[in-house]
Amino acid sequence: MRRLLVRLALLSSLATTGCTRPRTAPPPDAAAVEDPVVLLDSRTLPVADFMARQRVTARHPRGVHTFDAVLQLADGTLRMIGLTPFGTKGFLLEQRGTEVRFERFVDLDLPFPPERILFDVHRALFYSAKGGKADGPDRRYALGPAFRIDEQLVGDAVVERRFTDARGHLLARIRFSPPFEPGTLPTTVRIEAPPYGYRLEITTLDVRWLAGRKPATSAPSANGEGPRPRGNERGALLSSRPHGVPARSGP
């Protein structure tokens, strides 16, 4: 009965947003550009272990879908858990090293391949042009493994990050509000992926740092290399409010 209620709630949610059953194949425009999924090794991501509750709004050719998710980095494993309207697990995306595992708990397709969802997480949080070359007083760029990264800055914080292919085609535009210091977690991220015709808005509702200390502000370079804060004590969890993210009390 509970499984049936979860499924009915999901279908109702999709119906109200104008989305029936999202397709997983990219639109034809995606074939015109090269946008390979290049995931960084989850064991060397340059950010402290964390757990964040997020609200995701996805706009794609078939409609609009909003859901809550939990994003966690712990002991070298990156996990994303999509939640149903009841707060139960809808799907699990897990990356260990460079291997990705996807598990679905309800009968609902994802609008994009699982690896591409994780890739957007990497592009927003872990890739950076820090350590690259200046391109004006408030801009810098760096060459990634299969793309160029351009960033617009306010001081040391990133306002916008763009990914382009070798021919200059825009692969993704990511905007941060307020400006984001790599190595922390942004409050609101807006991702636009023109080749695939979708836009994402991700708001971090709550974040806990699991390593017993606040994250370092040093960011990964274009290839994802960078210092990783040490320590992984599982004692009292550290709640913080980076860039206006509300703190959460209790265990």
Q: In this structure, which amino acid lies at residue 89?
A: K
pLDDT band at 211 (very low <50, low <70, confident <90, very high): low
For residue 235, the model assigns a pLDDT of 26
CB 181 within 8 A of CB 128: no
For the domain made up of 2-20+33-244, the CATH class stated in words is mainly beta
Q: Given pLDDT bands bounded at 50, 70 and 90, which one contains residue 28?
A: very low
CB 198 within 8 A of CB 62: no
Q: What is the mean pLDDT of residues 196-208?
A: 95
Whether 167 shows a pLDDT value over 80: the answer reads: yes
Break the chain into its structural domains and give their ranges: 2-20+33-244
With 90 as the cut, is the pLDDT of residue 111 above it?
no
Q: How far apart are CA 143 and CA 132, in angstroms?
A: 8
Exposed e or buried b for every residue in 20-37, given b needs 16+ CB within 10 A?
Answer: eebeeebeeebeebebee
Note the pTM of the prediction, 2 decimals.
0.74
Supply the pLDDT for residue 32. Answer: 63
Using a pLDDT cut of 70, give the percent of the chain over it.
71
Residue corresponding to tokens 């709550």: 206
Which of 225, 213, 223 is closest to 48 using CA atoms? 213
Beta bridge pairs of residue 239 = 208
Q: Which amino acid belongs to residue 161? A: R
Q: How far apart are CA 43 and CA 211, in angstroms?
A: 14
pLDDT in tens, 45-102: 989 999 999 999 999 888 898 999 999 999 999 999 999 989 999 999 999 999 999 9
Tell me: pLDDT of 249 over 90: no
